Structure 1
Amino acid sequence: MEPKMAVLSTVTLEKSAELYKVVDALNRTLKGDDLMFGLALDQKDSTKMVFTIYRT
């Protein structure tokens, strides 16, 4: 059984084509600190993205 990830923060932002690069850099840099970052399209508004910070 995998341990669950705790959501620390969620922010909705304007959609950006290159925001995934920031998320990738954060994941590569802070994985040793038990942090993970996610980016997804907002299901209610296709012009927005949801950025989430998790503790693993």
Structure 2
Amino acid sequence: MEQKIEKLSTVKIQKSPDVYKVVDALNRTLKEDDLMFGLALDEDKEKMVFTIYRT
């Protein structure tokens, strides 16, 4: 069974050491609502990319 993941929104933010805690809390709280949140370093490694997905 294939699960489709739809990207809803992406935003670049300033790099912060604690932002992963927010992403973790969102994932734990909203997974039952079929939402998933991602965080990655941008190519220049000075910013982070925050993405919201519907699963």
Question: What TM-score do you get using the length of structure 2 for normalisation?
Answer: 0.94
- 1:40 corresponds in structure 2 to 40
Report the Cα distance in structure 2 between the residues aligned to 1:28 and 1:2, rounded to whole angstroms: 22
- 1:49 corresponds in structure 2 to 48
State the superposition RMSD in angstroms.
0.8
Q: Which runs of 4+ in 1 moved over 4 A?
A: none
Equivalenced residue count is 55
Question: What TM-score do you get using the length of structure 1 for normalisation?
Answer: 0.92
